[in-house]
Chains A and B, each alone.
Chain A
Amino acid sequence: MLKKFDKKDEESGGGSNPFQHLEKSAVLQEARVFNETPINPRKCAHILTKILYLINQGEHLGTTEATEAFFAMTKLFQSNDPTLRRMCYLTIKEMSCIAEDVIIVTSSLTKDMTGKEDNYRGPAVRALCQITDSTMLQAIERYMKQAIVDKVPSVSSSALVSSLHLLKCSFDVVKRWVNEAQEAASSDNIMVQYHALGLLYHVRKNDRLAVSKMISKFTRHSLKSPFAYCMMIRVASKQLEEEDGSHDSPLFDFIESCLRNKHEMVVYEAASAIVNLPGCSAKELAPAVSVLQLFCSSPKAALRYAAVRTLNKVAMKHPSAVTACNLDLENLVTDSNRSIATLAITTLLKTGSESSIDRLMKQISSFMSEISDEFKVVVVQAISALCQKYPRKHAVLMNFLFTMLREEGGFEYKRAIVDCIISIIEENSESKETGLSHLCEFIEDCEFTVLATRILHLLGQEGPKTNNPSKYIRFIYNRVVLEHEEVRAGAVSALAKFGAQNEEMLPSILVLLKRCVMDDDNEVRDRATFYLNVLEQKQKALNAGYILNGLTVSIPGLERALQQYTLEPSEKPFDLKSVPLATTPLAEQRTESAPISAVKQPEKVAATRQEIFQEQLAAVPEFRGLGPLFKSSPEPVALTESETEYVIRCTKHTFTNHMVFQFDCTNTLNDQTLENVTVQMEPTEAYEVLCYVPTRSLPYNQPGTCYTLVALPKEDPTAVACMFSCMLKFTVKDCDPTTGETDDEGYEDEYVLEDLEVTVADHIQKVMKLNFEAAWDEVGDEFEKEETFTLSTIKTLEEAVGNIVKFLGMHPCERSDKVPDNKNTHTLLLAGVFRGGHDILVRSRLLLLDTVTMQVTARSSEELPVDIVLASVG
């Protein structure tokens, strides 16, 4: 032991590390030397270094001890030793948020900042700004303005960068310095120019016009600094993206011209900006791709990495645009930087031909163990994409996935593999059995609870439909015996699903469930008891409602409704129909091929959009007594063009007997304040406008919300589809754009908006039925209606399916939204819940001859929803 210790000591040069065994208290003790005169600069600087080293190592300094050391340090300003002074600045910055009363050094720093010693001035500016708050900033404003335009670059840069930091808390003061920043932007020094442009952009970024002017001004003459070019490329591409118009603009020309810059950094930034622009055509991409191709053979690893990573992005959307680089990518397959090699291979997998798959997969498996989890996920995503492209390669790819699944790896990586296997199983019925049995094997030894429960859920769903369902029971029941409670609960649910769908197996399932009734855990025991009792009834409708298709309500909504119910005692039993529905079915919450860079996202369940709306609406007194919010339209509809004076977007909220239209308004005129803003609405059908809830005041660029409440038609309840003409009404008060002062007098004005449409989809909430047939039987045929339609304008089954799903706003079940190739008949199964809480199910048989003929059968537990659906289709 002793020997080993010595060896390490000697290797790391421990004997000569002056900082190795520093004691905080001893170092702070030493700081007393600061009070001695004359000051010994060398010694004092060394003590400051020790203090900084301790902070750097993560040592925690208490407020009192930090303040004490800080005050002692202020004495050191008496010395004129340059290094000591510079160390003082660093100490001030490090301690600015630990020690108290750090502002006492303000005058010393102001003196240094305006003094003769150039090497002090820049660092003094930065230290000063670090300890200055917005109230004190006014006092040094004059010096800051001077410093920004100082001819010494380090002073100017320091002032600009500090101003940028100060924007966060003192925006209003710093924005008065734009003239100085503007002057600095024409500096010959490359860093000053970069910092000045950055500050100007940050001050103006909310003013589109000013940003446009800035771009055209600074891109016309060539910039000196490559960093400034990169910054301007980013600003230009953001502007382009927001215009989301054509790329036939000076902005795009500027970015493209940067592809010919002499600095690689700028060329790469421009290429990457073009690749990231949404909706780029292959022709627009071509020049970017060719510079990236050149970078692939650079001797610099960082450049090769950057290039191949960007090409990989291109290949996701435009594989053909990258085909020209295949040869260069092949050379990178053996790159000693495994990240580069992996990216090259996954790019080739996207662009190459089917025949190269086997070879590339073999290559990549040779170094799979050497690459980081992030890149393993990239590989899995590439495989996932391949499976969709080349269905015939399933066997090879599945095998590869199973090998990876057996090896070591973190959660994200394993989850990506499981996701990929599950999507293969769902897409291809022939691979289902192999896939399921491999997953069974995986959960035998799986450390991730989330994955185990997910697979158990899948087994419960898919297992009973296979040829030999009994073989899965052993794997599932093993979980009940061996795992902890969450997995056991999942396994119990899976068992119940087998029992509900397969009569032969029911007796043995009942035996297994009876054993679980004695479980230690409440949840497991409850589930087992519940399922056992339901299954023993031997009724199909019960099985469908309580085992195969679970609750579709939103869980936080249920909690709130139940709490409300307990607060207001009532004779009536609790009505499940009063609970808002879950907006996204569980199966859809799976993110589609998350980008590798977004891996590090916290996995918390945020309040859904609808829950946020529910809270907001509940706070408006006019909307009391409307009952629970049933549905909010998924995307706000724009009622104005994006470049107009006022920007209005509408979200539709549906309640049991009412609708609320929420208008999010923005006033883009800086010389006006609007007051008492409402949207007046005129319906074409028997809707009745009940009241308007105005926005009291709408100042420039501050969003506001107003509402319109309408009652649904009572006379003819099937006439739910309706057009509303809309008009914005308000009082205008002129105001001064610079000071924000408003005139007292105003005048009434109006502004015509686009019409707003309410469709049948606004009255139906999507609901996922995992087992459609069971749900169909459960609803029964009491209110079944059937009609046949001809869709004369539609030429393909895919188009028909897409239109129907979109029009009715219902959820396609059993993957019936996927139309198999080369078929001329198809059955689409849709599920939803109608306003008021009644299930509505639609089976739509489609026949393609020259046009599409459609037979629609609708079922519900009430007549009205069926009538509305059929009336709207006709």
Chain B
Amino acid sequence: IFMSLQEPSLYTVKAILILDNDGDRLFAKYYDDTYPSVKEQKAFEKNIFNKTHRTDSEIALLEGLTVVYKSSIDLYFYVIGSSYENELMLMAVLNCLFDSLSQMLRGYRKNVEKRALLENMEGLFLAVDEIVDGGVILESDPQQVVHRVALRGEDVPLTEQTVSQVLQSAKEQIKWSLLR
């Protein structure tokens, strides 16, 4: 029976996850009822993290689902689909998400890492919303995604940015001096 084909469908993506290097959820969007409760979702995320964070092998089959993934500094990106799904389609979603984010963060001269991502959470929410809608791939071209998200980037008053940066680094220095 399993040889028989699945119903043709646009519903490609079951979930998009971003975890940090402790395996904690930074972002998670589930598009169907494979894991209906938060408890089941967290258990799945834990399992996924345990099986993938030590390898850089980009694709795995877990709990009967195809998982494509990518890591960047202290972040782990996952796109999950059915095991019948075209792996390259899932990969296209993962690449689009990652490239969109790195372009957006490059606007702030930042790498794709946890701190930068948390500072731009709204950009992440909007980008994911432009890439996948209810499990359907909405856009796969990172240029288009970045264009549509159109975050106010450069229009932030320079002074405001610098002040907060100065404060931040001052805090860091005080923290270090206290630790010593």
Give the interface of A toward B (CB within 8 A).
Answer: 6, 8, 10, 12-13, 15-19, 45-46, 48-49, 52-53, 56-58, 81-83, 86-87, 89-90, 93, 119, 122-123, 126, 154, 157-158, 161-162, 164-165, 191, 194-195, 198, 201-202, 205, 227, 230-231, 234-235, 237-238, 241, 264-265, 268-269, 272-273, 276, 278, 300-303, 305-306, 313, 336-340, 372, 374-375, 594-600
Q: Does B110 contact A (CB under 8 A)?
A: no
Which residue of chain B is the closest to A598 with respect to CB atoms?
Answer: B2
Q: Is there an interface contact between A16 and B89, defined as CB atoms closer than 8 Å?
A: no
Which residue of chain A is the closest to B68 with respect to CB atoms?
Answer: A302
21 contacting pairs across A/B (C-beta < 8 A): A13-B115, A18-B119, A49-B122, A57-B25, A86-B126, A87-B122, A87-B125, A93-B129, A157-B138, A157-B139, A165-B133, A201-B8, A227-B140, A237-B5, A268-B86, A300-B58, A303-B88, A338-B55, A596-B83, A597-B82, A600-B65
Chain B nearest Cβ from A807, distance in angstroms: 27
Additional A-B contacts beyond A154-B148, A594-B2 (16; CB < 8 A):
A12-B22, A18-B119, A46-B122, A52-B125, A83-B126, A89-B129, A154-B130, A157-B138, A157-B139, A164-B136, A272-B86, A276-B4, A372-B61, A597-B84, A599-B63, A600-B63
Q: Which of B61, B125, B151, B175 is within 8 Å of A339, CB to CB?
A: B61
What residues of chain B lie closer than 8 Å to A194, measured between beta carbons? 10, 137
Q: Does B166 contact A (CB under 8 A)?
A: no
0/1 interface trace, chain B 135-156, chain A, CB 8 Å (1 if under): 0111110001000111110000
Chain A nearest Cβ from B89, distance in angstroms: 6
What residues of chain B lie closer than 8 Å to A198, measured between beta carbons? 9-10, 136
Residue in B8, B55, B86, B89 whose Cβ sees the most chain A Cβ within 10 Å: B8
Chain A nearest Cβ from B96, distance in angstroms: 11
Known: A82-B150, A191-B138, A596-B83. A372 touches B60 (CB 8 A): yes
What residues of chain B lie closer than 8 Å to A17, measured between beta carbons? 114-115, 118
Known: A597-B64, A598-B2. A58 touches B41 (CB 8 A): yes
Q: Which of B5, B20, B51, B91 is within 8 Å of A12, CB to CB?
A: B20
Q: Does B179 contact A (CB under 8 A)?
A: yes
Q: Is there an interface contact between A337 and B59, defined as CB atoms closer than 8 Å?
A: yes
Chain A nearest Cβ from B44, distance in angstroms: 11
Q: Does B72 contact A (CB under 8 A)?
A: no
What residues of chain A lie closer than 8 Å to B173, measured between beta carbons? none
Q: Which of A46, A119, A374 is within 8 Å of B150, CB to CB?
A: A119
Q: Is there an interface contact between A269 and B150, defined as CB atoms closer than 8 Å?
A: no
Known: A12-B114, A13-B115, A16-B118. A372 touches B86 (CB 8 A): no
Q: Which of B7, B68, B114 is within 8 Å of A13, CB to CB?
A: B114
Q: Does B3 contact A (CB under 8 A)?
A: yes
A272 to B42, CA, bound (A): 33
What residues of chain A lie closer than 8 Å to B29, measured between beta carbons? 56
Chain A nearest Cβ from B135, distance in angstroms: 9
A656 to B171, CA, bound (A): 88
Give chain B's interface secondary structure class. Answer: mixed
Q: Is there an interface contact between A123 and B8, defined as CB atoms closer than 8 Å?
A: no
Give the interface of B toward A (CB within 8 A).
Answer: 2-10, 20-22, 25, 27-29, 38, 41-42, 51, 55-65, 68, 74, 82-84, 86-92, 114-115, 118-119, 121-122, 125-126, 129-130, 133-134, 136-140, 144, 148-152, 168, 171-172, 175, 179
A16 to B63, CA, bound (A): 35
What residues of chain A lie closer than 8 Å to B133, measured between beta carbons? 126, 158, 161-162, 165
A125 to B174, CA, bound (A): 49
A303 to B59, CA, bound (A): 9
Q: Is there an interface contact between B61 and A302, defined as CB atoms closer than 8 Å?
A: no
Which residue of chain B is the closest to A45 with respect to CB atoms?
Answer: B122
What residues of chain A lie closer than 8 Å to B129, measured between beta carbons? 89-90, 93, 123
Q: Which of A46, A53, A231, A336 is within 8 Å of B8, CB to CB?
A: A231
Known: A49-B122, A597-B83, A600-B63. A301 touches B28 (CB 8 A): no
What residues of chain B lie closer than 8 Å to A269, measured between beta carbons? 86
What residues of chain A lie closer than 8 Å to B59, measured between beta carbons? 301-302, 305, 337, 339
Chain B nearest Cβ from A714, distance in angstroms: 43
What residues of chain A lie closer than 8 Å to B6, measured between beta carbons? 234
Q: Is there an interface contact between A234 and B87, defined as CB atoms closer than 8 Å?
A: no
Q: Is there an interface contact between A337 and B55, defined as CB atoms closer than 8 Å?
A: yes
A154 to B91, CA, bound (A): 22
What residues of chain A lie closer than 8 Å to B152, measured between beta carbons? 81-83
A674 to B82, CA, bound (A): 41
Q: Is there an interface contact between A195 and B136, defined as CB atoms closer than 8 Å?
A: yes
What residues of chain A lie closer than 8 Å to B90, measured between beta carbons? 302
Top 8 nearest A-B pairs (CB, nearest first) are A337-B57, A58-B38, A597-B83, A234-B8, A595-B2, A600-B64, A198-B10, A265-B88
Q: Which of A58, A119, A375 is within 8 Å of B42, CB to CB?
A: A58
Which residue of chain B is the closest to A263 with respect to CB atoms?
Answer: B88
Q: Which of B4, B88, B179 is within 8 Å of A306, CB to CB?
A: B88
What residues of chain A lie closer than 8 Å to B22, measured between beta carbons? 8, 12
Q: Is there an interface contact between A339 and B57, defined as CB atoms closer than 8 Å?
A: yes
Q: Is there an interface contact between A230 and B86, defined as CB atoms closer than 8 Å?
A: yes
Chain A nearest Cβ from B75, distance in angstroms: 11
Known: A53-B121, A191-B139, A306-B87. A265 touches B92 (CB 8 A): yes
Which residue of chain A is the closest to B133 with respect to CB atoms?
Answer: A161
Q: Is there an interface contact between B91 and A302, defined as CB atoms closer than 8 Å?
A: yes
Q: Which of B9, B20, B171 is within 8 Å of A15, CB to CB?
A: B171
Q: Which of A158, A278, A305 is within 8 Å of B87, CB to CB?
A: A305
A45 to B22, CA, bound (A): 28
Q: Which of B140, B151, B175 is within 8 Å of A83, CB to CB?
A: B151
Known: A302-B87, A600-B63. A238 touches B7 (CB 8 A): yes
Q: Is there an interface contact between A15 and B139, defined as CB atoms closer than 8 Å?
A: no
Q: Is there an interface contact between A19 and B86, defined as CB atoms closer than 8 Å?
A: no
What residues of chain A lie closer than 8 Å to B148, measured between beta carbons? 119, 122, 154
Chain A nearest Cβ from B142, distance in angstroms: 13
What residues of chain B lie closer than 8 Å to A230, measured between beta carbons? 86, 89
Which residue of chain B is the closest to A20 with respect to CB atoms?
Answer: B118
What residues of chain A lie closer than 8 Å to B38, measured between beta carbons? 58
Q: Is there an interface contact between B8 and A278, defined as CB atoms closer than 8 Å?
A: no
Q: Is there an interface contact between A16 and B115, defined as CB atoms closer than 8 Å?
A: yes
A13 to B115, CA, bound (A): 7
What residues of chain A lie closer than 8 Å to B27, measured between beta carbons? 56
A599 to B61, CA, bound (A): 11
Residue in B138, B168, B171 whose Cβ sees the most chain A Cβ within 10 Å: B138
Q: Is there an interface contact between A278 and B4, defined as CB atoms closer than 8 Å?
A: yes
Known: A58-B41, A164-B10, A306-B87. A598 touches B138 (CB 8 A): no
What residues of chain B lie closer than 8 Å to A90, measured between beta carbons? 125-126, 129
Q: Is there an interface contact between B125 and A6, defined as CB atoms closer than 8 Å?
A: no
Q: Is there an interface contact between B64 and A374, defined as CB atoms closer than 8 Å?
A: yes
Residue in B20, B27, B82, B125 whose Cβ sees the most chain A Cβ within 10 Å: B125
A237 to B82, CA, bound (A): 18
A747 to B134, CA, bound (A): 49
What residues of chain A lie closer than 8 Å to B63, measured between beta carbons? 374, 599-600
What residues of chain B lie closer than 8 Å to A123, measured between beta carbons? 129
Known: A45-B122, A234-B8, A337-B57. A227 touches B89 (CB 8 A): yes
What residues of chain B lie closer than 8 Å to A302, measured between beta carbons? 58-59, 68, 87-88, 90-91
What residues of chain A lie closer than 8 Å to B57, measured between beta carbons? 301, 336-340
A16 to B171, CA, bound (A): 10
